[in-house]
Amino acid sequence: MSTVAEIEAALEQLPTEQMLEVAAWIEERRAMLSASESLFRQLDEAEGVEAGKQWLGE
């Protein structure tokens, strides 16, 4: 599986319990990414990085 459509199709075939496990994993991943982004933004601000956003790569 390499496309979102393929992954979505596979997810739709899962039993409800497994779908809920995947949903919980996605939520954990989302929270981790959000926390990381917040930390990187704080590091950029603390280091006074305006252009280039050293940690966020923007």
| Inside any domain, residue 43 | yes
| Inside any domain, residue 20 | yes
| Inside any domain, residue 7 | no
| Inside any domain, residue 35 | yes
Which pLDDT tens digit goes with each residue over 1-55? 789 999 999 999 999 999 999 999 999 999 988 888 878 777 777 777 554 566 5
Query: Is the distance from CB of 7 to CB of 22 less than 8 angstroms?
Result: no
| Inside any domain, residue 8 | no
Q: Which domain holds residue 36?
A: 15-58
| Tally of domains in the chain | 1
pTM for the structure as a whole = 0.58
What's the one-letter identity of residue 15? P
Integer Cα distance of 24 and 30 in angstroms: 10
| Inside any domain, residue 3 | no
| Inside any domain, residue 23 | yes
